[in-house]
Structure formats: C-alpha cells, structure tokens
Amino acid sequence: MTLEHFLNEAISPWMRKEGTDSDIVLSSRIRLARNFANVMYPILGKEDELKKVHDFMKDTYNKTSFQDYTDFHFISTKNLSEIENQILIEKHLVSPSLTRYPQSAALISKNEQVSIMINEEDHLRIQLYFPGYQLADGLKQASQLDDWIEGKVDYAFDEKFGYLTSCPTNVGTGMRASVMMHLPALVITKQMSRMIPAINQFGLVVRGIYGEGSESLGNIFQISNQITLGKSEKDIVFDLASVVKQLIEQERLARSYITEQLGISLEDRIFRSYGTMKNARIIESKEAAKCISNVRLGIDLGIIENISKNILNELMTLTQPGFLQYYANRRLTPRERDVFRASLIRERLELEK
C-alpha cells in the first residue's frame, strides 16, 4: 500500500475541508442519543429484540442518502476484524464500548461526516462532524437528520423528561455538542489549568482527545456540554459557543504574547520538534503528539512554511496503534509501533516536498 493511498483511507473526506477558525478549532460535533419506544435498551435488551433494531436500521437506511450525506454504509460490528474496529475508533466513528453490546452496528455516510451507532448504550447515537468551528449550522443539520430518522422510527419520548435515554445524564435533549480545540499557547503560558475550573462553572466539561477519562495529548482539548435537561438545544449550543469563542480569543492573545516574549526560544522549540519528526527512528505516541502540536503551532504562526495545516489532524490519527498496524499489515509490539510511527512521520513529511 502506498502512503498516499493509505492517507486517503485514513483521513475522513470532511476533515480535508477547512472550517471557520480552523487554526484553533479542529472539529465540531453534535451527538444525539435516541431510543426505540418499545424495545428494551441494549444494556438489558434481549438479543432477538436488539436484532430487530439492527435489521430495521440496515433494511431501512443501508445505501440510502440524506442531503449531503450520501451512500450510508451499514457495518455490523461482528463482521469487523479487531484492527478494522480499532481504526473506526481512532477515526472517532464508533466508541470503544460499541463492540461490548450484542447486535451493535454503525451506519456511516460516504464522507464520514455522519456516523450513527446502533445498539450502543442507547439504540441510536447519531453523530455529525464538521471541520473547524461550526456549531449553529451543525445543530440545524443534526436536527434535520434526526427528523429524517424519526420519519420511520418511533422514539422513546416523554413530555416531561424529553428523549428517554439509558443513562439519566443524557435525558432531555439527548444532545452532546462538542468541539476539539488545539490550545498550545494557553498551555505554554500555563493558563489552561486555571481556565478548566472556570469552564466547568458553565456546565461544560473539558476532556482529552479520546473522550471520557483521557488525558490531553498534544494540547488538544475536547469541550462539551454536561447538562442535557431543562435547556433547549439552541441554548446549550449558545452557552458552549460563547465559551469556545472566548477560548479562541484567549488562545490568539497568548499566541501573539509568546511570539513577542519568547522570540528565538519559541522558534527553537518549534524547530527542534520539526527536527525530531524529520529524523527520529523511535518515537512514542506522547512525544509524537508533543512534536506534532509544536510543528502545527509553527505553521499557524508562519515560523514553518510549506507544510500543509492538515498535518496535525492527519498525524494525530495516523500515529495511533490501530492505524500503524493497519499500515504495517500485521500486529505490532509496542516497541515496533514506536519504530513504525517514526518512519510513518518521516514519510509523511517527505510527501510535502
């Protein structure tokens, strides 16, 4: 497999488009949790009932299209190899826990912007991704997609409690809106750790790149709403958006501050990371993430030229264990992964020339 071909498979088509404020916001996501009205939830559901949900979604929506989301492709998790499943997780198309549930599946649009998980914690987890900062429009599109599904599915809905989800932390709107942000200057200036408690005050949660419980890798943070009940979808998105706007502004200020204050030592830091990426023979994921973040900052600040901005999104995904093994076409020991990761990064930088 050539690297170009591999990249085409590895990077979702929507990720290649540039969105608003994409120097700081990598992607936006809206997720809606929905359930069938008369079927027990996957955590307790009987296999034959859950199979009905699985088969209904397959028969009704496989190979259909909705607006820009064409050629929905239905994948049963039981047909996936371990590495294939790992890759879907690393592309954020499915959650790590999906395979734990019987009769689980995913329905994914051709541009990979929409992924509907079937029989996860809830019967349906409808997810839409957008490049850059795109929450308001994202919400509108998510709601239309939801209406399209609801055209044929009777949802578990209650006048008082809203959309009834398996976990009471999702009940009401069933919506989780989130943005993935690259905030290196706020980390360098040590402001981020002070800001997280302030962000929590707004009913928002800050996490690392791979969701719940994961630590921040490469200065990437995911910010999402905690509250799903008692507020409208619009208000939830509005509250998230106002905090995100603030963070974008603060990150920009911090970037110009470090450019002025650190001068040559900032340049040194960035070029050292660039040097490591170009020359390392063994690199762990943590060090890789740090270097990739520094180089991306260098590109955004105009310190490094002639490298595409996409490199952060691309390499953060590509250097995950599942992708490395897919590229190597075999299982790799952790040490082998570090060697493979280093060589993949070098090859990717060669492509830029």
Partner 1 sequence: MRVECQECQKRPATVYFKHVINGEKKEVRVCEVCAQEKGYMQSQDQGSSLHDLLTGIFNFDTYPFGTQVSDKKQIKELQCPNCKLTFSAFKEIGKFGCATCYETFSERLSPILRRVHAGNTAHAGKIPKRTGGNIQKKRQLEEYRIQMKKLIEEEAFEEAAILRDKIKALETQGSAKRGESEG
Contacts with partner 1, residue ranges (CB under 8 A): 35, 37-41, 43-47, 78, 100-102, 121, 139-140, 143-144, 146-147, 150-151, 154-169, 171-173, 175, 203, 212-213, 227-234, 236
Q: How far apart are CA 24 and CA 231, in angstroms?
A: 27
Dig out the tokens for 228 from the structure: 């799903």
Closest CB 167 distance from partner 1, rounded Å: 5
Closest CB 230 distance from partner 1, rounded Å: 2
DSSP string, 226-280: ---SSS-HHHHHHHHHHHHHHHHHHHHHHHHHHHHHHTHHHHHHHHHHHHHHHH-
Closest CB 215 distance from partner 1, rounded Å: 12
Looking at the Cβ atoms of 173 and 319, the one nearer to partner 1 is 173
Sign of CA dihedral 65, 135, 25, 215: negative
Looking at the Cβ atoms of 157 and 257, the one nearer to partner 1 is 157
Closest CB 161 distance from partner 1, rounded Å: 5
| Phi, psi angle pair for 171, to nearest 5° | -65, 155
Looking at the Cβ atoms of 214 and 308, the one nearer to partner 1 is 214
Q: How far apart are CA 166 and CA 148, in angstroms?
A: 22
Provide the 8-state DSSP code for 173: T
| Phi, psi angle pair for 226, to nearest 5° | -95, -40
263 CB contacts (<8 Å, ≥6 apart)?
none
Looking at the Cβ atoms of 121 and 251, the one nearer to partner 1 is 121
3-state secondary structure of 125: strand
Looking at the Cβ atoms of 212 and 268, the one nearer to partner 1 is 212
125 CB contacts (<8 Å, ≥6 apart)?
31, 32, 33, 34, 95, 116, 117
**Helix 321-328 crosses helix 82-90 at what angle (to 10 degrees)?**
130
3-state secondary structure of 178: strand
Q: How far apart are CA 334 and CA 332, in angstroms?
A: 6
Looking at the Cβ atoms of 35 and 115, the one nearer to partner 1 is 35
Looking at the Cβ atoms of 102 and 132, the one nearer to partner 1 is 102
Closest CB 41 distance from partner 1, rounded Å: 6
Looking at the Cβ atoms of 170 and 293, the one nearer to partner 1 is 170
CA 120 and chain centroid, separation: 17
